[in-house]
Structure 1
Amino acid sequence: MTYIEINGAPATAEALHLPALTSYGHFTAMQVRDARVRGLALHLGRLDASTRELFGRSLDGERIREDIRHALGAADARDASVRVYVYWPDGDERATLMVTVRPPQKMAEHPKRLMSVPYVRDMPHIKHLGGFGQNHYLTLADRAGFDEALLTTPDGLVTEGAITNIAFWDGGSVVWPDAPALPGMTMALLEPRLPSVRRRVTLTDLPSYEAVFITNSQGIAPVCRIDEVEYAVDAELMKTVTAAYDAVEWDLI
């Protein structure tokens, strides 16, 4: 079951008209445990920066925290998957915040299979609501027997997964694609904690890497195949990446 609040109150049919009828907005997704979240400042910064870019105004971080706390309390949940959506209808004095609370989720840790697709999101640096293309290619990948779609430019530049960031291991460094993509929270937390570099990665480069993994708000998982290129799971690499992520402090909301 999903519990929904809008502007700190239980969602009503009337209040749900806005998210039901508009696709202009943005959001962030987080895993909450014991009323805490990793990278809270990054989530608040993402919401404020995207609000400034889309609506030309700032968004108060304390208001966001209050609304999340209220929704968690009303749902009687200390462990949850939480999303915060931001809308700002013309003429309104302040943003409309919608908080959804669902049961906690964790990425299945089995090795993933990715299918490359020729698609790049509009304004990829914003976690916006225009997700039709991502969902379409993710559905096609699923139908073809893959776990995730790998988004690429028309000339084969690797950008990101449909709902993940991707990283490549060259034997000495974790390579994050230098390409237009959403800087996910898990990626943002891991990048400074690992021997990371940014580099252009193309489909023709895939066989040169020793291992691959993906990240999103639900966690981390190794990749065993991209298209026809297969990868062995590097247990030591995954142990290092997991340890780096586990060492990140949980911030009280």
Structure 2
Amino acid sequence: MTTPPPITAITATTADVTRLEIDGAPGTVETLRARALDSFGHFTAMQVRGSRVRGLGPHLDRLDAATRELFDQELDGERVRELIRHVLAGDGGADGATGVIADASVRVYVHAPGGTPSLMVTVRPPIELPAAMAERAQALKSVPYVRPVAHIKHLGGFGQAYHGRQARRAGYDEALLTGPDGLISEGAITNVAFFDGRDLVWPDAPHLTGITMRLLLDRLADAGLPTRLGPVRLRDLPSYRAALVTNSWGVSPVRRVDGLDLPVDDKLMAAVSEVYEAVPWDLI
């Protein structure tokens, strides 16, 4: 069986920001300098299709909760929506492009350079995973690292970026973050879950509850797939039948963790994917 190339290879052309606005205006030298010199902040990442987003409410909740915790202020969800709509509408972006963009990868960053929350919205091309589960199956390399303040999607993630890059250089798709005694927490840019034949188990070590993970947690049990959080260690993995990862791109099976091959459970992936695909798209 031919080993699939790293999933990250399909996103190599999506690195360039096609549009960027700060509080509804094109970035300037001054506003961009403020962000370049300030790594204290947070963000959310979403896939936009037809000017809609899955789980828009949870995205807005995430931004508001982190803004309250980091800056002691509320963040109005309608303001966030207005700024996303504005940059997608195409009144002038980082490259001077105009025209409505309906499908995109969008990130909303929150800083507070003057004490008041300031939002930078970036637009990149949309990311599409391969349709076939076998082609999107990922190989994970375990690394000894746990993100600080893991419940916030914060900036300055050098550790996870470093380990993710090292994993890809070694031929893997993603880094699997672990703590003492091989306790698994999450991927560098994903959540991970393991299937024991009955339950889908999400590691309960410190982690960020991603939007896709949250959407699935709210719905899998109703679809007949028991789901729970619990401790998972590297040494436990041979006892699991399958695994999967989730992020804003969607849901993908895991084919290998370090030297352990895991089968792609087609029935499991079909069930989880069906639940995810049924999540409604919210108009921005």
Q: Would the aligned equivalents of 2:111 and 2:119 in 1 still touch at CA under 8 Å?
A: yes
The counterpart of 2:59, out of the listed 43, 57, 75, is: 43
Deviation of 1:15 after TM superposition, in Å, equals 1.6
Structure-to-structure mapping, 1:57-206, within 5 angstroms: 57-74=73-90, 76-90=100-114, 92=115, 94-108=116-130, 109=133, 110-194=136-220, 195-206=226-237
Q: Would the aligned equivalents of 2:71 and 2:117 in 1 still touch at CA under 8 Å?
A: no
Within 1, Cα distance between the matches of 2:40 and 2:23?
17
Deviation of 1:178 after TM superposition, in Å, equals 1.1
Deviation of 1:228 after TM superposition, in Å, equals 1.2
- For 1:234, the equivalent position in structure 2 comes to 265
The counterpart of 1:25, out of the listed 30, 41, 46, is: 41
- Structure 2: which amino acid aligns with 1:236? K
Q: TM-score, normalised by structure 1?
A: 0.97
Deviation of 1:190 after TM superposition, in Å, equals 0.6
Within 2, Cα distance between the matches of 1:107 and 1:119?
27
CA offset digits 1:56-93 (Å, max 9, x no partner): 11111110000000011015201100000000124x4x
Point out where structure 2 has 5 or more consecutive residues left out of the alignment: 1-15, 91-97, 221-225
Q: Would the aligned equivalents of 2:185 and 2:205 in 1 still touch at CA under 8 Å?
A: yes
- Structure 1: which amino acid aligns with 2:29? A
CA offset digits 1:7-42 (Å, max 9, x no partner): 001112222112211100000000001110011110
- For 2:93, the equivalent position in structure 1 comes to none
- For 2:71, the equivalent position in structure 1 comes to 55
Within 1, Cα distance between the matches of 2:157 and 2:249?
18
- Structure 2: which amino acid aligns with 1:218? W
Within 2, Cα distance between the matches of 1:56 and 1:25?
12
Q: Would the aligned equivalents of 1:160 and 1:181 in 2 still touch at CA under 8 Å?
A: yes
Partner SS state of residue 142, structure 2: strand
Point out where structure 1 has 5 or more consecutive residues left out of the alignment: none
- Structure 1: which amino acid aligns with 2:68? R
Partner SS state of residue 14, structure 1: helix
Q: Would the aligned equivalents of 1:117 and 1:137 in 2 still touch at CA under 8 Å?
A: yes
Q: Would the aligned equivalents of 1:114 and 1:225 in 2 still touch at CA under 8 Å?
A: yes
Deviation of 1:192 after TM superposition, in Å, equals 2.2
Deviation of 1:107 after TM superposition, in Å, equals 3.5
Within 1, Cα distance between the matches of 2:262 and 2:242?
6
- For 1:217, the equivalent position in structure 2 comes to 248
Q: Would the aligned equivalents of 2:64 and 2:76 in 1 still touch at CA under 8 Å?
A: yes
Partner SS state of residue 81, structure 1: strand
- Structure 2: which amino acid aligns with 1:181? H
Q: Would the aligned equivalents of 1:79 and 1:103 in 2 still touch at CA under 8 Å?
A: yes
Deviation of 1:43 after TM superposition, in Å, equals 0.4
Within 1, Cα distance between the matches of 2:263 and 2:233?
20
Q: TM-score, normalised by structure 2?
A: 0.86
Aligned residues: 251
Deviation of 1:144 after TM superposition, in Å, equals 1.1
Within 1, Cα distance between the matches of 2:152 and 2:253?
25
- Structure 2: which amino acid aligns with 1:225? R
CA offset digits 1:127-172 (Å, max 9, x no partner): 0002100011011111111110000002210000000000111111
